[in-house]
Amino acid sequence: MKKLFSLASVLLVFSIFSSSVSANAASCMFGHEYIDDVCVYLKADKTSVSLVDLQKGSVTLPVKIYISDNTKNIQSISAAWKSSSEYVKTKNLKNPMFFTDSSPINTYSTSDGKSFSTQMTPFCFSYIDDKNNLATLPGSVFTVPEADAATGISADASSFIFRIDPTTSNPDKQIKNNVYLGSKSDEYMITEFEVEFAQNTPAGNYTVNLIDYTQSADGKTHAGTTYCNRFDKGVFHPSLKSVTFNVGFNLGDIDNSGTIDAGDASIALSAYSTISNGGSSPLSDIQTLAADTNYDNIINAIDASKILTYYSQISVGQTPSFN
């Protein structure tokens, strides 16, 4: 691990995160490291869009951003994402810390049995104070573009930064060992946005990708999804997990019966057998999309196995996902 303790870099990191969102792009000029201890991922409860629904107009689905963090040393995190499809727009990014005097006070409980009240959206970088109210770690959320002052929402969703304020009076407690809301870092999201599918979206797979670190042609670097910790001031690259939506079919439900079960696994295996013996695929284009559960454009035993696993998890009351 490269240690970057020079005063210059320390000051530079501080000034960048203290100034503005757009300046964050410059933070990549010093020290980058890819590690697996942190994963930033996108998750949607609903990942399929029916063509019947699209006939009535555009369809919007919520997406949440989570962080799985084994380091507990994160001081700031930036995430950026995009869809490469002209039919898919990301919008309505929420600042989870935003509320107004008229925002309702809601009560929630964590998986470890604590309850709390808040006018904010419960999110991972927050904690329950001694009055059982939700409080945020001393820090700020920056959304790009800037959130509307009246709603806390950015109309176009493309990226955000959450930064824990390093000037807090009690930085050790807050930063050296981040206490996430709930029992783990991803019990609660960082924040959320929406994905809108245009009315004329054709059947197919559509991925909203978290953007990794990129380097431009002129050699200047740009931050994508990165984080900094409090100790060596490097910029780290978490592993990323994007989310794929299925338009016009339900992944795994090859026979379009409305359920994913052993029959679908059997169809995938049978198609694989036919294809591998030199025959042409018995599956329609839509069925092929539904059968390719790992998105590698091949229908084989892996897909059948994933469908069976999904079915067995559903059967015992779990909520599995192919994503």
Residues that bind Ca ion (CB under 5 A): 253, 255, 257, 264, 292, 294, 296, 298, 303
Q: How far apart are CA 303 and CA 283, in angstroms?
A: 14
Tokens of 61: 């689905």
Structure tokens of 259? 């359920």
The distance of closest approach from Cβ of residue 302 to Ca ion in the complex, given in angstroms and rounded to an integer, is 6
Report the 10 Å Cβ neighbour count for 215. Answer: 10
- The nearer residue to Ca ion, 69 or 303, going by C-beta atoms, is 303
The residue with tokens 């501080």 is 14
Nearest residue (CB) to Ca ion, 152 versus 252: 252
Those residues whose C-beta lies under 8 Å from the C-beta of residue 267, and which sit 6 or more positions away, are 254, 255, 283, 287, 291
Nearer to Ca ion, 285 or 296 (CB): 296
Handedness of CA 14, 16, 20, 21 (dihedral sign): negative
Which residue is at the shortest CB distance from Ca ion?
A: 257
User: Least distance to Ca ion from the beta carbon of 181, Å?
Assistant: 37
Closer residue to Ca ion in complex, CB, 177/294? 294
Going by C-alpha positions, the residue among 50, 56, 4 that lies closest to residue 27 is 4
In this structure, are residues 231 and 259 in contact, taking their beta carbons and an 8 Å threshold?
no
The dihedral of CA 77, 23, 89, 285: what is its sign? negative
Q: Which is nearer to Ca ion, 69 or 264 (CB)?
A: 264
Shortest distance, position 195 Cβ to Ca ion, whole Å: 23
Instruction: Please choose, from the candidates 32, 15, 8, 3, the residue with its C-alpha nearest in 3D space to the C-alpha of residue 214.
Output: 32
Q: Are 110 and 217 in contact (CB under 8 A)?
A: no
* Residue 294 CB, nearest approach to Ca ion (Å): 5
DSSP annotation of 181: S
By beta-carbon proximity to Ca ion, the closer residue of 103 and 276 is 276
Measured from the CB atom, the residue of 284 and 294 that comes closer to Ca ion is: 294
Least distance from Ca ion to the Cβ atom of residue 172, Å: 48
Closest distance of CB 292 from Ca ion, Å: 4
Kindly report whether the peptide bond that precedes residue 145 is cis, defined as omega within 30 degrees of 0: yes
CB of 261 to Ca ion, least distance (A): 6
